[in-house]
Amino acid sequence: MNWTKDMQALDRAHHLHPFTDFKALGEEGSRIVTHADGIYIFDSEGHRILDGMAGLWCVNLGYGRQALVDAATRQLQQLPYYNNFFKTTHVPAVTLADTLCRLAPASVNHVFFTGSGSEANDTVLRMVRRYWALEGQPDKQWIIARENAYHGSTVAGMSLGGMAPMHAQGGPLVPGITHIAQPYWFGEGRDQSPEDFGRACAAALEERILELGEENVAAFIAEPVQGAGGAIIPPDSYWPAVKEILARYDILLVVDEVICGFGRLGEWFGSQHYGLEPDLMPIAKGMSSGYLPIGGVMVGDRVADTLIDTGGEFFHGFTYSGHPACAAVALKNLEIMQAAGVVQRVRDDVGPYLAQRWSALADHPLVGEARSLGLIGALELVADKATGARFDKSLGVGNLCRDISFANGLVMRSVGDSMIISPPLTMTRDQIDELVSLARQALDETA
């Protein structure tokens, strides 16, 4: 009897994995992750693997934090569950809301809790349309999103997202959502300078507003840096131009902070890195470092005032909105981050250090671009370094590199032929060196 093989057989027999070709699990089976410590995960065969993705962009404080376990235990003993519906509340939800609002941009002073980032974006959709209805402009219904964006897997989340393969399954989509070009210079804009391309992508927003009629457009939603789409860092010209256009046409800005929030870009929120004043900010993931599931929508004063002053009851909420144990863990997570200066360290120390070490991978024959910001980064794999020509998609070079990297002891994610990292924010310089050298080894073996 082989424990791993038996477990894999059970997995294949009964477990439908998210975002997985069920049949392709095949004979080889899945790697069984058994435990984790610091920035490393361990599998049932005893391999130690550097988690260059912080789980799914969420384990910002790394694994093995006893203080988070204790916070959950204490709360589960004292009050494992109660809701915040109607006129009840509990201390973890209140304290967490207060802490979040202190960390958010100054004009953001409320939070509506959810259980995940997808639920947060469902909430966004309903809240945005409710806001405009209360403002006496019920025709403001359209939400402009971006191609290749990821905003979750619920029906509203995937409709807001711009992932064509998701749209092709299980439709129809939520009506009134339209997608414009993403500011992905390496993938789509190399015939122009990055700055011109950034402005052109912002201009696409204005064109779409004018096509739809500004009186019909409710909001624009975007991630500060597009995560699941491929760690796409917009050109510097992009966000200032977008900001200006939204202000001109009085359209709400929804900044999806599910990945960029909680220190990933070296500020508490990506909005602060780019100087944005969002009307709504969906959050999740790093909020609790993934130890327990929790999300929310942070709501700016403009929307909150209307919802509170003239809204009456908002018929929306989840059983686990602000779940006490999840909230207690999130709160402890934020306390640890504050006490240890984790965010400043990303901005002033390890972020710049990663940028220096990661960008050096651009000398590799397989790499067309190596970019990073804070602790998120990507390598663009190319067939021809001189021209930047891509590999034929059918070769699956990105997936090959991902599998080689995993086997060598580093989790990188592949998005097509872009190799992505988003490691724990607690990385030391030595660990960054280790990550970069494992990435180089994976490139060498893929070439």
Q: Does 117 bind ligand PLP (CB under 6 A)?
A: yes
Number of residues that bind ligand PLP (CB under 6 A): 15
Q: Mark the segment that binds ligand PLP (CB under 6 A) among 166-174, 177-185, 221-229, 404-412.
A: 221-229
Q: Does 116 bind ligand PLP (CB under 6 A)?
A: yes
Residues 6+ away with beta carbon under 8 Å from 315: none
Q: Does 259 bind ligand PLP (CB under 6 A)?
A: yes
Among 258, 283, 298, 381, binds ligand PLP (CB under 6 A): 258
Among 150, 186, 197, 318, binds ligand PLP (CB under 6 A): 150
DSSP helix/strand/coil, 410:
strand
Smallest gap from Cβ 161 to ligand PLP, in A, equals: 8
Q: In what order do the strands lie in the sheet with 108-114?
A: 108-114, 295-300, 280-283, 252-255, 217-222, 142-146, 177-180
CB 114 within 8 A of CB 321: yes
Q: What is the spatial distance between Cα 162 and Cα 170, in angstroms, rounded to a whole number?
A: 15
Q: What is the spatial distance between Cα 95 and Cα 208, in angstroms, rounded to a whole number?
A: 41
DSSP helix/strand/coil, 156:
helix
Smaller CB separation from ligand PLP, 129 or 151: 151
Of the candidates 198, 314, 306, the residue with the CA atom closest to the CA atom of residue 252: 306
Smaller CB separation from ligand PLP, 366 or 373: 373
Smallest gap from Cβ 51 to ligand PLP, in A, equals: 16
Among 284, 292, 376, 415, binds ligand PLP (CB under 6 A): 284
Q: Does 228 bind ligand PLP (CB under 6 A)?
A: yes
Q: Mark the segment that binds ligand PLP (CB under 6 A) among 147-155, 175-183, 245-253, 378-386.
A: 147-155
Q: Does 436 bind ligand PLP (CB under 6 A)?
A: no
Smaller CB separation from ligand PLP, 109 or 116: 116
Q: What is the DSSP letter of 147?
A: T
B/e letters for 359-395, b = 16+ CB within 10 Å, e = fewer, are bebeebebbbbbbbbbbbbbbbbbeeeeeeebbeeee
Smallest gap from Cβ 313 to ligand PLP, in A, equals: 25
Residues 6+ away with beta carbon under 8 Å from 6: none
The one-letter amino acid code at 325 reads A
Smaller CB separation from ligand PLP, 149 or 410: 149
For binding to ligand PLP (CB under 6 A), which residues are involved?
116-118, 121, 150-152, 223, 227-228, 256, 258-259, 284, 295
